[in-house]
Amino acid sequence: MSDKPTAAFVLSLIGGIFILLGGVALAVGFSFLFGGIGAIFGIVGVIFGLIVILGSVMLYQKPQSHTMWGVIILILSIIAFPSAWGFGIGSLLAFIGAILALVYKPSMGPAMMPSQPMGAMPMGSMGSGQAMGSMGMTCKNCGASIPAGSTRCPSCGATV
Ligand SMILES: [Zn+2]
C-alpha cells in the first residue's frame, strides 16, 4: 500500500495517544496541586491529543487532504512540546508524523500510475481470464490505480 501515508499516520497516531495520556495524567495531577486551573491545563492537552489522533486518522482516510492535517498536527505538536503533554516524546512523534504528512505525495492521476510487470503478480487468487481486459483503470473518486479484476478501489473503497 504505497499510496497511503502510513508512516505519517502511525507516528501521528502514537504521538496523539501520548499527548492524550499526558493530558489525562496532568489533569489528574494538576487538579490535586492547583485545583481547577491545573485540571483545565491537562484537559487542553487531552483535546490536543484527540485532534492529533483525529488528524492522523483523517490523513489515512483521505490522503488528498494531507497538507491540511499535516499543518494542524504540526502546529499542535509545536504548541504541545514545551508543555509536558505527551511527555515530550508524543509531541516529537506527532511532529515527525506531520512533516511526513506534508512531504507526502499521493499517487493520483493516470500519468503517475506505476507500471507493474505482469509476471510479478501472484497468480491463483484471481481469475486469469479477465485480468487482461480491465488493465489501466483509475479510481474516479481518488485517482488511485485499481488492480485488474478488482471491483473496489484499494485506496478509498469506492465501487468502480
Ligand atoms: Zn479511490
Average pLDDT over the chain, rounded to whole?
A: 76
pLDDT at 33 over 50: yes
Q: What is the pTM of this model?
A: 0.58
User: pLDDT tens across 98-128, in order?
Assistant: 888 888 886 654 444 444 444 444 544 444 4
Separation of 15 CA from ligand 1 center, angstroms? 28
Write down the pLDDT at residue 145.
87
Separation of 100 CA from ligand 1 center, angstroms? 21
In 3D space, the residue among 90, 99, 107, 95 whose CA is nearest the CA of residue 67 turns out to be 99
C-alpha distances out from residue 70 to 23, 36, 61, 91, Å: 21, 32, 13, 13
